[in-house]
Amino acid sequence: MSTTPRPDAGRGAGPPSGSSGRPGKGVLARLTDRIPVRIRRVSLPYLLIIPAILLELLIHLVPMVIGIGMSFLKLTQFFLRNWSAAPSAGLSNYQVAVDFDSAVGSSLLHSFLITIVFTVLTVALSWFLGTMGAVLMQGAFRGRGLLRALFLVPYALPVYAGVITWSFMLQRDSGLVNHILVQLHLADDSDRPFWLIGDNSFISLIVVCVWRTWPFAFLVLMAGLQNISGDLYEASAIDGAGWWRQLRSITLPLLRPVNQVVVLVLFLWTFNDFNTPYVLFGKSAPEQADLISIHIYQSSFVTWNFGSGSAMSVLLLLFLLVVTTVYLVATSRRRSDA
């Protein structure tokens, strides 16, 4: 006698009654489900940048606040182990720094003016070389990729490795620069120029800094040129516009937003540059190349007057904030007028 199997034969008993059959969720998942989707989408970006904000506070803002506090103290080497015992200086550190009739104030003003000239020349040359390099590298030709890579080598090299190499090359007796000048009969072998002291030290500093910074301008401007349509150049060429007219009427106007960012970043980097003069000249830079970053370092770590050095740093910060604000306001107004 044959029996017909039931349809549910061989199957499991299944979930108990009242169960949904889905695995249970954790407590955190259940709490997250109660938050509206809109709130979760809005809060997600802020949650992702919390680690960056914490690191920014730890690395930049906290030392900045401590430095501002140090500027109101007579903090010397005698109070390094116990800052709380350092007497209050009030505004005397700032008064000494801005008293240009005193030795401290006059030397700070001299360093500030040198830094201004150095920054203007370095930014101008770096921007010019970066612009010309980016424009020339736009055309297709054999070896373009290799040249682009070679142009970016100074920017990719570590600062210390590149600047130390330049310091060897600029040595008076054994440096490559003087050797080439002697071989080309541009300098006398018995009277080789000094490149790291005297008036030539300022020229050497500008050359090294431009060599380091112009690839950044080249890289950013080359990326900006990718957004300019080639149809504009073709139409202008049909109308008879040459290379210079295209550069002046198409390239530079359309690169204006990119140039505004590049110039500002180059200005801030160059004005605050400490590594290049420190590695090139050592702890004591020549008077002709006494940048304000090195001057503040000497005031703090050579004379052991950390209160005075902190006051100079705060004044430098205020100057850069004012210049940056004025620059951003001026460029935004020009952009809105356009």
pLDDT at 25: 52
pTM above 0.95, yes or no: no
Taking each helix axis as running N to C, give the angle between helix 159-169 and helix 176-183, from 0 to 180 degrees, rounded to the nearest 10.
40
Q: Residue 199 is which amino acid?
A: D
Task: Return the DSSP state at 304.
Answer: -
pLDDT at 304: 87
Q: Residue 59 is which amino acid?
A: I
Q: How far apart are the first and last CA of the chain?
A: 97
Residue by residue, DSSP assigns 178-197 as: HHHHHHTTSS-GGGPPPSSS
Query: What are the average pLDDT values for consecutive 10-residue runs of the chain, which has 338 residues?
Result: 47 46 52 62 80 86 88 86 83 90 90 95 96 87 86 90 93 90 86 89 95 94 88 84 85 90 94 92 88 92 88 94 92 71
Beta bridge partners of 136: none
From 285, 324, 271, 261, select the one nearest 119 (Cα to Cα).
Answer: 271
Residues in the chain: 338
pLDDT at 34: 61
The whole-angstrom separation of Cα 117 and Cα 140 is: 38
The whole-angstrom separation of Cα 97 and Cα 72 is: 13
The whole-angstrom separation of Cα 8 and Cα 4 is: 12
The whole-angstrom separation of Cα 314 and Cα 282 is: 24
From 108, 122, 158, select the one nearest 293 (Cα to Cα).
Answer: 108
Task: Return the DSSP state at 60.
Answer: I
Rg (the chain; Cα; Å): 31
